[in-house]
A and B are shown apart, each in its own frame.
Chain A
Amino acid sequence: MAIVTMKKFTLVALNSDKEAILNAFSKSKVVQLAESAELDKVTSKENSESQEKLAERIALVEDAVAYIKEGVMKYNASFKGTDGYKKVTVPKNSMAAPKTELTFDAFMQMEQGQVQLMEQVAYISELRNQKAELEAKLSKLNTEIDKLSLYRNLPHPTTWYRDTQNVAVQIGSVPVSAWDKLQAVANDYPMSEVSKVGTYGGNTLVVIVAHKDEKQLFDAVLPLGYAKSNVVCDILPSAMLNDLTSQRNAAKKALVDNAKAITACAQYIPQFEVLLDYLGFELKKVVSQGNMQQTGSTFVAKGFFPAESQSVVEEVLDKITDCRVLYVEDIGEDEFAPTLIRNKGVVKNFEMITNSYTPPTYHEVDPNPTMAWFYFVIFGLMTADIGYGLLLCAVGLFAKFYFKQNSGTANLMKMFGFCGISAVVVGVLFGSFFSYELYGYTLLNDGSLAPKLFTQWFGIKQAIIPAGDKQPMVMMVISLYFGVLHMIGGFCNNAAKAFKRGDPWAAFLDCFVWVVFFAGAGLALFAPAINFTNYDTWVNWLAGLQGKQLETVQLIGKIGLYMVLGAVGIVLIFGGRKKKGLGKIIGGLGGIYGIINYFGDVMSYIRIFGLMLTSALMGVVINDLAAMISENGSAFGYVMSAVLLLVMHLFNLVLGLLSIYIHNGRLQYVEFFGKFYEGDGQLFTPFGSDTKYTLIKD
């Protein structure tokens, strides 16, 4: 069994040792503390305050990291191509080892290191404020400069233009197009004078001087769009503008410096990430302390560890104190315990398929060992190509040697790589290499037939299983038969579960009976299925049987039929055995009705055939296209067809993988797991092991 036996423990120890014990548990990575849902919550006010404090600190650091990353991105986008620009990158670990590896002691040194880093966080927040201030200042300066630019050529400060005793003086602006009209209007007033000072932004700055008797001029020019100036500048506007411009340049430069200062902080990101993990760990400690029951000087911790690690836990505690009580119990029949799945070799890589659906509960049979092999074969049937299989194997091998740390991507690649073997095997049966047929004969120009590679090697005239596009029924029958096998696997698992529960009757009457039913149906339909395939080789073989062989086939059919009838009988009689009165009969009939559902389940396996067919036919189309392009024999044609083959086959493989991942998964989740699996377990997560950026190794 691949689900590791667990023990639950209750630890009573001194408060003064609490910190050391929690750290040691984290270092040992074999203990999971019980969460609040499983305990009565006794969080104190003090505890919630420290939780809040830590959460606040985490938010600050996360904010700083996000701000630096954004700053680097903006810097690279807006300064690219300017003098002295050098691309800034955020330091990142390689894909092979995405987490920073640290020993536990080095990790715990963050306790001291955090002071300096929090100063850095404060500095970043200062930079952020400075940036906001500078931007506000810049925007204000821009507005002022824009407003004053019209006055650049004014020879005196604006305050210099004042009315005298007999003359009214005004400065103002009109649209550039209205200047001529303004002059024309002014001509009607002989004791007035208008003069143009300069233009900016579509407006002309004018000075209008009029005798006090001709003040109507100011009203007369209003319809032209004239607006009296409201700018007050008691020094020469050009001098003022120069001053503002130099202030603006200074602000711009300060902003550039600010941007550079932020990008310079990018080097601290790896340290910030370790800090985040450290603070997260501290928070976890505080939360679990909040979950613990306490007296003035002792505390009670509850949790789980694998039975095999009991000595480790005791050793860890002994090193800290002998003033403690560790009470260890077995997990009761209906009690909760986290699930630790342990499988050897390749099956390990398939665990993610189950886990992404739902992990098994502690008391369940681990579905992975059986599921993995069915997944493997179905994957092969769906891909069914030597070329694609080899490519996947290469991907798997690459993942095996490239990835240094465990990750979802690495596992998935390894799993696909392993499944590649299955694809190669099925590919050999079909004789398909990147959708080129390897069985059969090629018609040569002189009219003779040349055997293809596999026909030459193995001496067989045609594929062991004919390709889906030529003899579709064969592959369909194979898919359905495999479905029956898969479902039998599911029922067997259910029987094993009933045995484990100590209910052998249920194992026989509810589970094993369906194994008999499906095996019987498979045998009974053997001969009809061969005829249904319409495949000459098989049909002729069956039709040509005589004597003993024919008798055997007929016997197989008969045995199958009896098995089916027997199974149906058992279901009818015992299906309602746990019910009372009329329920006994209805229960049996209900069991028979279940056959319809199972029939639907079997039909669902047609998808194996469908996916195989699409991928193979796409391959054929790609090959035909490539052949068409290179038909004229030019070098360009060959190059183009090679590129097409490479790109399109990769595309076909990737798209095929996507469909296979979904549909193979579905067959496991619904048709297979549906027969026995409950799930909704909680995976065993050792205390302090769920760090995001660091990998603690000792």
Chain B
Amino acid sequence: MNATATTMIPELGKFVAILGLALTTILCGIGSSVGLKASASAAAGVMSEDASMFSKVMILVLLPATQGLYGFVIAIIGAGNVVDGMTLAQGWEVFACCLPMMIAGMTSAIFQGKTSATTIMAAGKKPEIAGKAMLFPAMIEFYALLGLVVSIILLG
């Protein structure tokens, strides 16, 4: 049965691999977008009170933007592993390699965005704590970095 399925769709392995790479880019992108929406809205609110806060909140706004890039990088690196005539197992292997980045990237971006937003509001009330408060959302970023590193090592 399985053999029939693979002969019917000879490029199924390649398809699964590409699906994994595409999903990594898409999901990390979604995560970053959701995260950025939260952080950017908070920053806009803070700036409506005091426009000079721009440089202080800018870094915080952009924190959840990196996961989207990580996803993109994984897709590009993984593209080298996609070859014609891959078996289905090989395809799933590439897919599995993408999982750390895909899941850690998306979730961390969303949560980081929320934390960034709160931090931005705190910095708006007390600008002097902006430097310290930056640490909190940056802590979440670490897990995206771990996902990235593991995915790269697995793909390499």
A residues touching B (Cβ–Cβ < 8 Å)?
355-358, 408-409, 468-470, 472-473, 476, 604, 606-607, 609-611, 613-614, 617-618, 621, 655, 658-659, 661-663, 665-666, 669-670
**CA separation between A604 and B77, bound complex, in Å?**
24
* Interface flag for B62 (CB, 8 Å): yes
B83 at the interface (CB under 8 A from A): no
Query: Can you sample 11 A-B contacts with CB below 8 Å?
Result: A356-B130, A470-B156, A472-B152, A606-B145, A607-B145, A613-B73, A614-B66, A621-B73, A658-B62, A662-B134, A670-B135
Bound CA span A621–B73, Å:
8
Contact residues of B between 47 and 82, Cβ < 8 Å to A? 55, 59, 62-63, 65-66, 69-70, 72-73, 76-77
By the criterion CB–CB under 8 Å, are A658 and B77 in contact?
no
Q: Is the CB of A357 within 8 A of B77?
A: no
A669 in contact with B135 (CB, 8 Å):
yes
Q: Is the CB of A613 within 8 A of B131?
A: no
Is residue B153 within 8 Å, beta carbon to beta carbon, of the partner chain? yes
Best-buried of B70, B135, B142, B145 by chain A (most CB within 10 Å): B145
**CA–CA, A517 to B139, complex, Å?**
27
Q: Is the CB of A655 within 8 A of B132?
A: no
In the complex, what residue of chain B is closest to A475 when comparing beta carbons? Answer: B149
Contact (Cβ within 8 A) A613 B152: yes
Complex CA distance for A409 and B134, rounded to whole angstroms: 18
Given known pairs A357-B132, A472-B156, the reply for A658 and B76 (CB within 8 Å) is no
Q: Which residues of A contact B130 (CB under 8 A)?
A: 356
Contact B135 A617 (CB under 8 A): no
When C-beta atoms are compared, the residue in chain B nearest to A665 turns out to be B134
Q: Determine the chain B residues whose CB is within 8 A of the CB of A663 once the complex forms.
A: 138, 141
Most A CB contacts (10 A, CB to CB) among B69, B70, B72 go to: B69
- Docked Cα-Cα span, A603 to B21, in Å, equals 27
B22 to chain A, nearest CB (A): 16
Contact B73 A666 (CB under 8 A): no
Given A469-B77, A655-B66; A610-B135 close (CB under 8 Å): no
B148:A614 contact, CB within 8 angstroms:
yes
User: Inside 8 A of B145's CB, which chain A residues have their CB?
Assistant: 606-607, 610-611
| Additional A-B contacts beyond A473-B153, A662-B59, A663-B141 (9; CB < 8 A) | A355-B131, A472-B149, A613-B148, A614-B69, A617-B73, A658-B62, A662-B141, A669-B132, A669-B135
Contact of B73 among A470, A618, A661, A670 (CB under 8 A): A618
Q: Chain B: which residue is nearest A663 at the CB level? A: B138
Does B146 reach chain A (CB closer than 8 Å)? Answer: yes
In the complex, which residues of chain B have a beta carbon less than 8 angstroms from the beta carbon of A356?
A: 130-131
Closest chain A residue, CB of each to CB of B137: A662
Question: Do A614 and B138 touch (CB < 8 A)?
Answer: no
Chain A residues with CB below 8 A from B77, complex form: 469, 617
Interface centre among B130, B141, B152 (most CB of A within 10 A): B152
- Find the B residue at minimum CB distance from A358: B132
Check B148 against A666 for contact (C-beta < 8 Å).
Answer: no
Compute how far the CA of A617 lies from the CA of B135 in the bound complex, rounded to whole angstroms.
26
| Interface size counted on chain B using CB atoms at 8 A | 28
On whether the beta carbons of A604 and B149 are closer than 8 Å, the reply is: no
Q: Contact: A357 with B156, CB < 8 Å?
A: no
Contacts of A662 in B (CB 8 A): 59, 63, 134, 138, 141
Does A469 lie within 8 Å of B62, measured CB to CB? no
Q: B156 and A469: CB pair below 8 A?
A: yes
- Chain B residues with CB under 8 Å of A658's CB are 59, 62
Chain B residue nearest to A408 in the complex (CB): B55
Chain A to chain B: the 7 pairs with minimum beta-carbon distance, closest first: A356-B131, A610-B145, A617-B73, A621-B76, A666-B138, A607-B145, A662-B138
With both beta carbons as reference points, the residue of chain A lying nearest to B60 in the complex is identified as A662
User: Complex formed: what's the CA distance from A669 to B148 in Å?
Assistant: 23
- Residues of A close to B62: CB separation below 8 A: 655, 658
Inter-subunit contact B69/A613 (CB<8 Å): no
Report if A469-B152 is in contact (Cβ < 8 Å); known contacts: A606-B146, A662-B59.
yes
Q: Min CB distance, A628 to chain B, in Å?
A: 13
B52 CB to nearest A CB, Å = 11
- Which residues of chain B have C-beta atoms less than 8 A from A604's C-beta? 142
Return the contact of B76 from the options A408, A473, A617 (Cβ within 8 A): A617
A387 smallest CB distance to B (angstroms) = 19
Most buried by B among A357, A469, A609: A469
CB contacts (< 8 Å) of A409 on chain B: these are 55
Contact status of A609 and B138, CB under 8 A, knowing A472-B156, A617-B76: no
Within 8 A of A (CB), among B98-156: 130-132, 134-135, 138-139, 141-142, 145-146, 148-149, 152-153, 156
For B134, list chain A residues within 8 Å (CB): 662, 665
What's the Cα separation between A199 and B99 when bound, in Å? Answer: 73
B55 to chain A: which residues have CB within 8 Å? 408-409
* Chain B residue at smallest Cβ distance from A479: B149
User: Across the interface, do A610 and B148 meet the contact criterion of CB distance under 8 Å?
Assistant: yes
Shortest CB distance A617–B (Å): 5
The CA of A694 and the CA of B132, in the complex, are separated in Å by 29
B36 to chain A minimum Cβ distance, whole angstroms, is 13
Determine how close the nearest CB of chain B comes to the CB of A218; give it in whole angstroms: 57
Expressed in whole angstroms, the Cα–Cα distance for A621 and B63 within the complex equals 22
Q: Which residues of A contact B153 (CB under 8 A)?
A: 472-473
Task: Determine the distance from Cα of A58 to Cα of B87 in the docked complex, in whole angstroms.
Answer: 76
- Output the least CB separation between B57 and chain A (Å): 13
Q: Which residues of B contact A357 (CB under 8 A)?
A: 131-132
User: Assuming the A-B contacts A356-B130, A469-B156, A621-B73, are A659 and B149 also in contact, with contact meaning beta carbons closer than 8 angstroms in the complex?
Assistant: no
Shortest CB distance A630–B (Å): 19
User: Cβ of B63: which chain A residues have Cβ within 8 Å of it?
Assistant: 662
CB-nearest residue of chain B relative to A609? Answer: B149
* Distance from B119 Cβ to chain A, minimum over Cβ atoms (Å): 12
Closest to B66 in A: A659
A357-B132, A614-B73, A662-B63 given as contacts; is B152 within 8 A of A607 (CB)? no
Most chain A C-beta atoms within 10 Å of own C-beta, residue among B69, B134, B149:
B149
